[in-house]
Amino acid sequence: MAWKRITESQLWRSIFRHRFEDTPRNRSLTTVSNSLLHLHPVTLPRDALQVRFTFCLGGLTFFMFLVETVTGILLMFYYRPVPEYAYLDMKLLEHTVRFGMFLRNMHRWAGHAMVILVMLHMLRVFLTGSYKPPREFNWVVGVMLLVVTLLLSFTGYLLPWDQIALWAITVGTKMAAATPFLGADGPFHEWFGIHPGNDMRFLLLGDSDVGANALLRFYVLHCVLLPVVAGLLMFIHFWRVRKDGGISRPL
């Protein structure tokens, strides 16, 4: 009964569009809802081609993600995430590798552009009312993408291991220490026995200060975990755009 109430709810139906009983209709619906088979639209409404409606901001954000992936992989060939080498490697890349400075700047500027574009994209979606049903689930996926984009930007900031990186992450992780319940300096931390040795800041840094452990953690998050999560969320995001009838149209 409770299960039925859940599967009949608007929240559930906004994510799963077909029922589970083994009927010919449900079987065909499972196929047509398959993301792999349906990344390309069957038809393209003329209005959807109007640049001024979307300014292709989502597409441009995705393009920046691709630029970040390609330049990021190339940067990994020259960078070692240990305090002895991180800063030196960036300088060596800039001054001894052909197009090294260009490569590093491309990664840095495309990263900034991605943060700005994702915010503008969100603003466009909001102003055109495209968060409304049936697109409410895709809005939630979008919010997750926004958080992951900001985390990618934050974790990348530490990697050059220069003064600005060190102090930015010191400030940022001190903010984590001020989180309610989970930070040792935050309100209600005593409820769960949280102290500086087991709080949110310690989890992020792997230590009580910004040092070698933090550099390694941020490197793994920045180069492996967060890009994989972002890629998966984008896959779901694009599939939902299709399944929600393509992008919304001007009224």
Q: Binding to ligand HEM by residue 120, rule CB under 6 A? A: no
Is-contact 156 166, C-beta < 8 A?
no
Q: Binding to ligand HEM by residue 179, rule CB under 6 A? A: no
CB-closest chain residue to ligand HEM: 142
Q: Which of 57, 110, 176, 210 binds ligand HEM (CB under 6 A)?
A: 57
What tokens does 17 get?
A: 């569009």
Taking CB under 6 A as the binding criterion, the range among 23-31, 86-94, 121-129, 193-201 that sits at the site for ligand HEM is 121-129
CA distances (Å), origin 42, targets 39, 62, 96, 175: 9, 22, 50, 48
Report how far residue 87's alpha carbon sits from residue 171's, in angstroms, rounded to the nearest whole number: 20
Q: Binding to ligand HEM by residue 227, rule CB under 6 A? A: no
Q: Binding to ligand HEM by residue 138, rule CB under 6 A? A: yes
What tokens does 233 get?
A: 């969320």
Q: Binding to ligand HEM by residue 122, rule CB under 6 A? A: yes
Report how far residue 33's alpha carbon sits from residue 41's, in angstroms, rounded to the nearest whole number: 12
Nearer Cβ to ligand HEM, position 221 or 247? Answer: 247
Report how far residue 195's alpha carbon sits from residue 170's, in angstroms, rounded to the nearest whole number: 18
Angle between helices 57-76 and 226-243 (to 10 degrees): 160
CB of 222 to ligand HEM, least distance (A): 15
Q: Which of 71, 176, 241, 243 binds ligand HEM (CB under 6 A)?
A: 241
Report how far residue 187's alpha carbon sits from residue 177's, in angstroms, rounded to the nearest whole number: 10
CB of 8 to ligand HEM, least distance (A): 24
Report how far residue 40's alpha carbon sits from residue 249's, in angstroms, rounded to the nearest whole number: 18
What tokens does 49 get?
A: 């081609």
CB of 134 to ligand HEM, least distance (A): 10
Binding residues vs ligand HEM (CB under 6 A): 54, 56-59, 61-62, 65, 118, 121-122, 125, 128, 130-131, 135, 138-139, 142-143, 145-146, 149, 234, 237, 241, 247-248
